[in-house]
Structure 1
Amino acid sequence: MKSKLLILFLFVITVSFGQTIPKINSLIDAEIKANKVPALAVAVIDSGRVIHISANGLRDVKLNKKANINTPFHIASVSKTVTNMAVFKLVELGKIDLNTNINEYLPFKVKNPYFPNEKITVSLLLKHRSGIKDDIKFYGPHWRNPNGDPTMSLAFLKEYLVPGGNLYNMSHYDSNPNHKSVFKYSNTGIALLGYIVEQISGMSYENFCQKHIFKPMNMKNSSWFLKNLDTSKVAKTYIKNNSKEFVFKGHNGYPDYPGGQLRTSIKDYSTLIAGFINADNNQFILNNETKNLIIPPVSTPHLGYYTWFIKAINNNLYFEHGGGDTGVRTISIIEPTKKRAIIIFANHPYDFDELYRSIEMKMWGE
């Protein structure tokens, strides 16, 4: 029954694709005409429906190839919202307990050397409070020098986190005794969640997401790896040189890929988010109880949230996650109670705060 309802839901969402709102189009056109960004993909969801979806500008500047709503964009750390769903799919299936020691799920032991008796849980990883830190000396060359798909598997985490590993350093852990109550962003922690998904499911992380997220949601232009996409159709990522020209340095890729390497189209991702905020209609890959666990009422911000953050935009509160990388800036903004969302993918890391604030004001300003 649920699968039939999901198919019906996808049909309803699909027939609305292609719609645009002139007042939003004018904002997007102004950004592109001002040479701020080669391409912008934007979706707006209101009352649970995708009411605006567009992709304007160029996915390839040199070849003058236009972006469209099926163009896969690198979405950087907005990828973490998908890793969140992968983890909670296993929570829902009873395979993961949020408060169990992660060592129950791993083929090696992860211990903070400063607090060896401390339990690190999936919940703490999702909330960026695990005490596991990013080593810029290790990640920096991968993050700064785009070179396509990583050559390392997620098994690198054993070398990074376990004493004796060729990447190990005590500084990969937080020595602050209060770290569980202090938010500290950790790409490594999210990558570790992806590895846990692999260990529990017995599948590669890519295959798990394809089976349990992308294919059920009809996300045909989504993958964690370039090798699974037609790269000629993927939006290239651009920086500006000294002459203010857009320059492509290469496609991003790094070992901690569950934290930021997903490529997806605005059509695919807006379908996913529309499904998420409509989970109360039993039309999503996760049930409504799981959705409410992921994004509880905003009255308890001091406890932290699972992956998403709270953001005030104009006079309203939203859950949001942003992303930034070489040649990339993205954001996903949702208000689950009113079933609203704004999603923006840009293939240049410019400041689009004014854009989403203007969209929010035009749509829901009071």
Structure 2
Amino acid sequence: MPNNFRQVKIQSKMKAKFLLLYLFVSTISFGQIHPKINSLIEAEINANKVPALAVAVIDSGKVIHISAKGHRDVKLKKKATINTPFHIASVSKTVTNMVVFKLIELGKIDLKADINNYLPFKVENPFFPDEKITVELLLKHRSGIKDDVKFYGPHWSNPKGDPKLSLEYLKDYLVSGGSLYKESHYDSKPNHKLNFKYSNTGIALLAYIVEQVSGMSYEDFCQKNIFKPMKMNNTSWFLKNLDSSLVAKTYVKNKTKEFIFKGHNGYPDYPGGQLRTSITDYTTLIAGFLNADDNNFILNNETKKMIIPSVSTPHLGYYTWFIKAINNNLYYEHGGGDTGVRTISIIEPDKKRAIIIFANYPYNFDELYKSIEREMWEE
């Protein structure tokens, strides 16, 4: 092949890559403020319902509003910004979902496979020893693996920062003879795989499978394959990897109705709820996900449609997200709640719409997202 032809071919490939990058960035250009949405958010802040609110709205695949208002630190009167990392509680599961599907897409994990194919120890339901637990069942919260509140409760309710236990705790929790093991960690009901049982432990086990398959820590795999490629520079599963003075503090109220910071959350089942990310970073991820059909996203469009098919065809099956009716429309959503935290991510793949809200106080913001949805898309 002549050198000049080769150079032209290389240049055309580079132009195509730059075009894809340009198209992607154009969907997530930030700094937009939608006046009516802005007014709704300011009313929430002015009513002293919450120290800080970070909100983003995506319409037709483009970010049309993004803002952070209020204080990330009430005592020091430090303002929240769109780059402030918030603890997003169980909305974290939407990220763990993408991580697992990244390995499914690469052919490293089989959705229908027995999880024991990927583990260095055997996980077996003592009530149904002959029934395999699959990756798919973990993603759908139908694995029969249950959360033990007596074990997790002290970690969930007494914030002490990054957990001391690694995901290796799962062996002791799930394997007979382990120091944390109980038969009650498994569902004993007939047809248990048909019984939905929301399981933080199951999500943590998915992350442990990611570690075993990739040979990397879960944090390192996420940084290399999700966060860095998506320019999510204010995102980590651990406080130690962030400037903690810039992280939004999480608040509860005392008897005199003052906002009190008890400490940053952290727990052994961290892949199910411990992610800290800014509204900019997470919105970048969701915008990319919704636009997977025409952008160079970390997952391809077929994978996106597997995770969340059209809201008109939920019977095709979907993973991790839930179906929710808001006003007169159907959406996929995942909420999060924790000590000092409430969050929600709401998406509609067909029309490429989303509403994302991070709050550093666990108040009821249902009317806020309903009002935003009504303002934007009521027909």
**What residue is the counterpart of 1:57 in the other structure?**
70
How far residue 347 of structure 1 moved from its aligned partner, in angstroms, is 0.1
- Contact 1:159 1:168 survives alignment (8 Å): yes
Is residue 77 from structure 1 mapped to residue 90 from structure 2 by the alignment?
yes
* Residue deviations 1:220-260 (CA, integer Å, cap 9, x gap): 00000000000000000000111110000000000000000
Which of 146, 159, 180 is the equivalent residue of 2:172? 159
What corresponds to 2:250 in structure 1? 237
Q: Residue 321 of structure 1 aligns with which residue?
A: 334
Q: Which residue matches 2:22?
A: 8
Verify the 8 A CA contact 2:311 2:348 in the aligned structure 1. Answer: no
CA displacement, residues 47-90 of structure 1 (integer Å, 9 cap, x when unaligned): 00011000000000000000000000000000000000000000
1:5 to 1:135, Cα distance in 2 relative to 1, 3 A: farther
Residue in 2 aligned with 1:112? 125
- Residues 57 and 66 in structure 1, CA contact (< 8 A), matched pair in contact too: yes
Q: Cα 1:229–1:10, aligned 2, differ >3 Å: closer, same or farther?
A: farther
Relative to structure 1, the CA distance from residue 330 to residue 303 in structure 2 (aligned partners, 3 Å threshold; closer, same or farther) is same
Kindly state the Cα deviation for residue 8 of structure 1 after the two structures are TM-superposed. 2.2
Which runs of 5 or more structure 2 residues have no equivalent in the other structure? 1-12
The answer to whether the 8 Å contact 1:42/1:342 transfers is yes
* Among candidates 20, 25, 37, match of residue 50 of structure 2: 37
Shift of 1:299: 5.0
- CA 11–299 in structure 1, closer or farther in 2 if over 3 Å, else same: closer
Call closer, same or farther: CA 1:234–1:9 in 2, change over 3 Å.
farther
The structure 1 residue matched to 2:322, chosen from 309, 326, 330, is: 309
Quick one: which amino acid aligns to residue 83 of structure 2? N
User: Do structure 1's residue 275 and structure 2's residue 288 form an aligned pair?
Assistant: yes
Correspondence for 2:61: 48
Cα displacement string for residues 178-218 of structure 1 (whole angstroms, at most 9, x for unaligned residues)? 22112110000000000000000000000000011000100
Hey, what does 1:200 align to over in structure 2? 213
Moved more, 291-300 or 108-117: 291-300
**CA–CA distance in 2 between the matches of 1:107 and 1:229?**
31
Written as runs of structure 1 = structure 2, the 5 A alignment for 1:349-360 is 349-360=362-373
How far, CA to CA, are the matches of 1:362 and 1:263 in structure 2? 29
Measured in 2, the distance between the counterparts of 1:66 and 1:6 equals 35
Kindly state the Cα deviation for residue 5 of structure 1 after the two structures are TM-superposed. 5.2
User: Where does the alignment leave 5 or more consecutive residues of structure 1 unmatched?
Assistant: none
Amino acid corresponding to residue 251 of structure 2 in structure 1: Y
Task: Give the aligned residue type for 2:26.
Answer: V
Cα distance change on mapping 1:197 and 1:3 into 2, 3 Å = farther
Distance change (3 Å), C-alpha of 1:264 and 1:352: same
CA contact (8 A) 1:282 1:288 kept: no
TM-score by length of 1: 0.97
How far has the Cα of 1:298 moved from its partner?
Answer: 3.6
Asked if 2 retains the 8 angstrom alpha-carbon contact of 1:59 and 1:65, the reply is: yes
1:176 corresponds to which residue?
Answer: 189
Rounded to whole Å, the distance in 2 between the matches of 1:119 and 1:212 is 29
CA distance in 2, matches of 1:294, 1:13: 21
Structure 1: how far apart are the matches of 2:251 and 2:228?
Answer: 30
What is the CA-CA distance between 1:304 and the residue it aligns to? Answer: 5.3
The secondary structure found in structure 1 opposite 2:293 is: helix
Residue pair 1:10, 1:217 contacting (<8 A) in 2 also: no
Letter in 2 for 1:7: L
Runs of 4 or more, structure 1, over 2 Å off, are 1-11, 297-305
Corresponding residue of 1:292: 305
1:302 to 1:180, Cα distance in 2 relative to 1, 3 A:
farther
| Aligned pair partner of 2:140 in 123, 127, 135 | 127
Residue identity (%) = 79
Residues 12-50 of structure 1, C-alpha deviation per residue, up to 9 Å, x if partnerless? 245x31110110111111101111000000000000001
1:101 maps onto 2:114 in alignment: yes
Distance 2:197 2:247 in 1: 32
Per-residue CA deviations over 1:140-195 (Å, capped at 9, x if unaligned) read 00000000000100010000000010000000000012221121100000000000
**Whole-angstrom distance in 2 between the partners of 1:6 and 1:89:** 20
| Superposition RMSD in Å | 1.3
The 8 Å contact of residues 127 and 304 in structure 1, kept in 2 or not, is answered as no
CA contact (8 A) 1:333 1:343 kept: yes
| Corresponding letter in the other structure for 2:369 | Y
Change (3 A) 1:303 1:9: closer
* 304-313 vs 325-334, which moves further: 304-313
